[in-house]
Amino acid sequence: MWRHTLSHIESVFGRLVYLCSLRDADTGLYQHFGLAQQFSPREAHEALRESHEQSFSEWLAFDLEQQKADLELYLSGVEAERKRIVETWTRVKPYLHLMPASVRPVERELYLRDIETLLNLLQNVNGVSSEDPDA
For 24-71, the pLDDT digits (tens) are 999 999 998 888 788 888 998 999 999 999 999 999 999 999 999 999
Which is more confident, 37 or 20?
20
Angstrom distance (rounded) from CA 28 to CA 19: 12
Q: What is the DSSP letter of 74?
A: H
Percent of the chain residues topping a pLDDT of 90: 76
Res 135: pLDDT = 38
Res 60: pLDDT = 98
Q: What is the DSSP letter of 94?
A: G
Contact by Cβ (8 Å): 46, 10: no
Distance from CA of residue 41 to its chain's centroid?
A: 23
pLDDT exceeds 80 at position 5: no
Res 6: pLDDT = 84
Helical ranges in the chain per DSSP H: 2-7, 12-21, 33-38, 41-61, 64-76, 82-92, 105-126
pTM of the shown model: 0.88
